Every structure is written in C-alpha cells, then in structure tokens.
Structure 1
Amino acid sequence: MWSEFAPVQVVAWRMLSRLRNEGWAADSLDILYLDDETLEWAKKTGDHEQDGTVEFHQDSNGTRLFEGDTVVLVKTLDVKGSTLSAKLGTVVKNIRLVHDNTEQIEGKVEGQTIVILTKYLRKG
C-alpha cells in the first residue's frame, strides 16, 4: 500500500476495502492516502459500497461446501413435481453449487437431478 505506483495503491485500497470489517484492515485504510484521482479510480468497482461480507455454501453443521463434494441427507425429503422421496442418509455425490443462492445445491438422487436445501444435508 506504500507503493509509489498508482495501480498498486488502487489494488491495496480495494483489497483493504473488502476486508474492512477486520480491525487491521480498517486501521490500514485509515492511514492509507490516495490523491483524489487515484481514489476515484479505486472506487470505480463499487466494492466500498458493499457490506464486505462474503457468503459461502454451508451444510447443516456450518461446514463449507465445494463443487464436486459428497453430501448426505439429514432428513427425508419429498421432491416437488415427482413421486421421488430422497431418504434420510442418502449419499449425493459430485454436487454442483447454485451460484446465485447459497442455500441450495444440485445433485443426482436415483438418476434425477434435484435442488436440495443446504440445511438438509451434511458433508460426507
């Protein structure tokens, strides 16, 4: 952040802005000086207007889920629009994350792709 090069200053400002909920990052932002033109450039992404939190897909125990993980159902689920009932303990392999909703994943149960709420599964 102490670089004399404006692009490095902009990247430092943006990274610190994303982490501003951390005490050390807020302290660093307070002492970081950018001239008006460089600060305007740094603000073009709009990162500073967001709350700085990032949400991840998590199972019922709070464990982070990733693409391709294997999960186990912790509740018997009736699949809407189908006669399929996904039983408690069913293993779902190679899941896909629903990118616009952190509370949902996609997986195959009995050959059928279904959407499952993350609160009904645990990482297996």
Structure 2
Amino acid sequence: MSIEQTLKTRCDSKCELCGSVDSLSVYEVPPVAEPNSDKSVLVCALCESQINSTDGKYDTNHWRCLNDSMWSQVPAVQVMAYRMLKRLDSEGWAQDLLDMMYLEDDVRAWADSAAGDALEADEPTLDNNKAPLAAGDNVVLIKDLVVKGANFTAKRGTAVRGISLTSNPLHIEGRVNGTRIVIISDYVKKM
C-alpha cells in the first residue's frame, strides 16, 4: 500500500490537522531519512501552504483547529501541531495550548529538531545595536510600543527580563505589564 493510501486509511481521508476533505496531499515531517507513513501527515492545501510559509503570516483563525489535532495519537501529527503552535505562540490561545501539550521525550526531540525549522538557525536575533540576543537575556525598550489587543502602551525604558526567541529572528517575546508580547528586536537594547 502506498504512503498516501496508508495515510488516507489512518485519517479517514481528512486533513490530519484541520479536518478538511479538499485537496489532500502527503507532507513529510522533517527530518526524514526515508519517506514512510510514520514520518508523514495528510494535509489540505491551506495547511500545507501555511506550513511552508516563510513570510511569518499565518491565518491564526484557521490554526485554532490545533486544539483538537494536538491530541492525536500519531506522533507526526503531534509534531506538526507543536511546530505550528510554536510559530503562533504570540497568540494567547496558542501559548495556552502549548502549555497543555504533552509529548513523549523522543517526539519532543523530533519536534524541536533544527531540521524542522531550518529558517531559525540561519540568522541570529540582534538588538538595535546589532548585539546578539539569546533566550533569557534582559533588554530595555528604546521606543514606546502600542500593544495591540492589550490596551496599553509599553513605555520606552521598560525592562523586559528573561526574553524568549521566536522562529523569526526579527522578533523576541517577553512579559510587559504581566502580558506576554512579541517585540521587534530592533526596538530593544540588551542590558
């Protein structure tokens, strides 16, 4: 039986991430040494285009489907749900789902593998002075930032402690006024 047929049988001919039945294709979850159904998922055209997106623009409402698919018993589906939630973790709901998600150690290692997010390793995250930033660093805002959806402005000079890096080297995450926000790395200075 072909990989595609095996996947269709496994998931009832529905996208394993969102449940759509239209335009399904096999997506190999990197890294894949030898293609097989255990390292692949069946996805719709919309999910595949978003997975392969390099511009960082995602249809966040579409990905709310991960609330269901993250509980799949199939490791490849778990890995894809985890990776997409990591890309969307600036959204409060996605961060909440990530906090709830449980992965076995080997599946977590697969999900975190650099080959799955090769774009991350290419460029370092730099502050306004071109100093490299690392997870856990402390930074200071160098300009006032209006925080969309939280109804406050993060003032220049505000310290952001223990930042997190994102998959986009132009962004960092940190807590300001108790709210986790995404900050453009060019708007901060390392302490």
TM-score normalised according to structure 1 size:
0.56
- 1:90 pairs, out of 128, 138, 158, with 158
Equivalent residue pairs, number: 72
Q: Equivalent residue for 1:112?
A: 179
Structure 1: 4+ residue segments shifted above 2 A: none
* Residue in 1 that maps onto 2:73: none
- Report sequence identity in percent: 45
Per-residue deviation, residues 69-122 of structure 1 (Å, max 9, x unmatched): 000000000001121110000000000000x20000100001110000001001
Q: Name the SS for the 1:119 alignment partner.
A: helix
Measure, in 2, the Cα distance between the counterparts of 1:82 and 1:111.
Answer: 10
Mapped to 2, the partners of 1:114 and 1:72 lie a distance apart of 14
Matched residue SS, 2:122? coil
**Which of 59, 62, 73 in structure 1 is aligned with 2:127?**
59
* Alpha-carbon offset, residue 54 of structure 1: 2.8
TM-score when normalising by structure 2: 0.36
Counterpart amino acid of residue 56 in structure 1: P
1:74 is matched by which residue type in structure 2? I
Distance in 1 (CA, whole Å) between partners of 2:132 and 2:161 is 16
Structure exhibiting the larger radius of gyration computed from Cα positions: 1
Higher relative contact order (CA 8 A, sep 6+): 1
After superposition, what is the alpha-carbon deviation per residue over 1:42-85, rounded to whole angstroms, capped at 9, x for unaligned? xxxxxxxxxxx931000011000000000000000000112111
Who is 1:101 aligned against?
168
Counterpart Cα distance in 2 of 1:56 and 1:80: 26
- RMSD in angstroms over aligned alpha carbons? 1.6
Secondary structure class of the residue paired with 1:122: strand
Structure with higher helix content: 2
1:121 aligns to 2:188 (yes or no) = yes
Letter in 2 for 1:63: A
